């Protein structure tokens, strides 16, 4: 598959031919189940779009039964930015229902396969976007990251996935899961493509009240030769698998060989991250998902009266994982438990943010695992608690609103990719991409 950088040099006629060939290739690989459908807007470079990002006149369903039949009436800001830059939304990718999951198994459309081994999950919730790039069925894709939903599937599928600083990319037109955590980001074949796509979708937007209104560009100033001070977290990886530990050491050696200074730092036990994240995310989710009632849009199941219509619509429209998180969110916000759970979670979130700030007073980047292991097989994370624990290394980044980038480091004995992430301080995407490009060049991963 050609890179985004190469595609930017193609003529309109070459792009037209390329898209026809790509569509045929996608249709020949339907068993992957990574694309829900193959629509196209414009005549630009094709970019795959996660099913929770609004594209005008497309069915956009967030991988859920309750939104079947909903047609987007407008474009998300990131889609407008793609079109303005000569790129085209091309194909809707599969995802965990309402971005709630780590395996893409909760999708209404069925599970997506990992392009490296069909018995393994592609990760989630942006599993479809990761799989199409990893399988060579897309030049690049957009995903969304609430607690690792770009970085984790990117690591599982052997591609690059980047979560921007909260506010750097407009959320206008993104189906909300947890509004204080969600961010749209690029999923690409390499770090430079991620920087190019990030530059295109980031920037000011008056339609998003949380937008940072910062328009600086990364790609013109990319410099893999910058020497950086990078923190490692030895105690943080104690529960990771041997595959991840070996990749971590390989990345440390590569960074040292590239001339970067490595220092060891400590962070508090990640079990606190899990608690703070799932209380915060589910509380926001139960509020955001209250709008899906069968009255204004999407599927409706007629009941005996209005209340029964709400109950029947939501009971039949939402999957088990979404219902579970709505129940949990309502519980932690309920009278008598709000102080005990939600308020404590916000205090913990503040401690996590302060802890990162203290580390970044002394270093430029942090090297961290993305997941405790390589992509598990289907069914291995059937227990919801096991699935929640698989996010242990990614969720603190969202709680603190920081930028992070996952890139492939190695493969294990079974040929499954192992990815790691670099984390930067807020709004310092330039350093993040510079460090990631340096590591990518030194590792020279072969997909």
Active-site residues: which are they? 50, 125, 149
Which residues are CB-neighbours of 360 under 8 A, at least 6 positions away?
A: 366, 424, 425
For residues 10 and 273, what is the distance between their CA atoms, to the nearest angstrom?
45
For residues 310 and 296, what is the distance between their CA atoms, to the nearest angstrom?
11
- Residue carrying the six token digits 């959320």: 171
For residues 280 and 345, what is the distance between their CA atoms, to the nearest angstrom?
7
For residues 121 and 380, what is the distance between their CA atoms, to the nearest angstrom?
9
Look at the chain and count its residues: 447
Six-digit token string for 217: 């560009």
Number of other CB atoms surrounding residue 437 within 10 Å: 22
In our burial notation (b when 16+ CB lie closer than 10 A, e otherwise), range 330-350 reads bbbbeeeeeeebbeebeebbe
Q: HSE (CB half, 13 Å, CA atoms) of 119?
A: 5
- Residue carrying the six token digits 């792009």: 15
- Residue carrying the six token digits 């790691």: 420
Q: What is the DSSP string of 4-43?
A: HHHHTT--HHHHHHHHHHHHHHHHTTGGG--EEEEEE-SS
Degrees (nearest 5) of the Cα angle 282, 286, 289?
125
For residues 186 and 140, what is the distance between their CA atoms, to the nearest angstrom?
7
Six-digit token string for 446: 């072969």
For residues 331 and 340, what is the distance between their CA atoms, to the nearest angstrom?
11
Closest CA to 428 of 352, 346, 361: 361
């Amino acid at each position: 598959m050609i890179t985004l950088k190469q595609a930017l040099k193609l003529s309109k006629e070459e792009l037209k031919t390329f898209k026809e060939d790509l569509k045929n290739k996608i249709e020949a690989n339907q068993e992957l189940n990574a694309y829900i459908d193959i629509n196209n807007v414009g005549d630009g470079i094709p970019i795959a779009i996660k099913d929770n990002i609004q594209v005008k006149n497309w069915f956009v369903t967030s991988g859920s039964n309750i939104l079947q039949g909903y047609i987007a009436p407008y474009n998300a800001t990131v889609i407008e930015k793609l079109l303005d830059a000569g790129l085209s939304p091309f194909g809707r990718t599969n995802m965990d229902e309402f971005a709630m999951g780590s395996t893409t198994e909760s999708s209404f459309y069925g599970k997506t396969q990992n392009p490296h081994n069909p018995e393994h999950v592609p990760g989630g919730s942006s599993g479809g976007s990761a799989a199409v790039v990893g399988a060579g069925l897309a030049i690049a894709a957009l995903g969304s990251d609430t607690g690792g939903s770009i970085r984790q599937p990117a690591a599982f599928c052997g591609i690059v996935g980047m979560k921007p600083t909260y506010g750097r990319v407009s959320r206008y037109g993104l189906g909300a899961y947890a509004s204080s955590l969600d961010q749209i980001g690029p999923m690409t074949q390499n770090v430079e493509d991620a920087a190019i796509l990030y530059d295109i979708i980031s920037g000011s937007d008056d339609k998003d009240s949380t937008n940072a209104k910062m328009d600086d560009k990364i790609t013109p100033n990319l410099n893999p030769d910058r020497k950086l001070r990078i923190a490692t977290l030895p105690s943080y990886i104690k529960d990771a698998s041997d595959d991840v530990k070996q990749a971590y050491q390989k990345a440390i050696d590569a960074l040292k060989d590239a001339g970067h200074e490595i220092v060891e730092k400590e962070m508090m036990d990640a079990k606190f991250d899990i608690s703070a994240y799932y209380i915060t995310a589910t509380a926001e989710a139960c509020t955001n998902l209250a709008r899906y009632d069968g009255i204004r849009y999407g599927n409706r199941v007629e009941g005996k009266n209005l209340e029964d219509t709400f109950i029947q619509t939501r009971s039949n429209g939402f999957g088990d994982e979404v219902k579970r998180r709505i129940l949990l969110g309502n519980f932690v916000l309920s009278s008598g438990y709000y102080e005990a759970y939600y308020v404590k979670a916000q205090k913990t979130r503040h401690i996590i943010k302060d802890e990162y700030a203290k580390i970044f007073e002394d270093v430029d980047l942090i090297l961290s695992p993305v997941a405790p292991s390589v992509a598990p097989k289907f069914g291995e994370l059937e227990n919801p608690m096991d699935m929640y624990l698989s996010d242990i290394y990614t969720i603190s980044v969202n709680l603190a609103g920081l930028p992070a980038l996952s890139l492939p480091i190695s493969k294990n004995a079974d040929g499954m990719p192992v990815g790691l992430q670099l984390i930067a301080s807020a709004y310092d995407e330039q350093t993040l991409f510079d460090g990631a490009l340096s590591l990518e060049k030194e590792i020279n991963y072969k997909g």
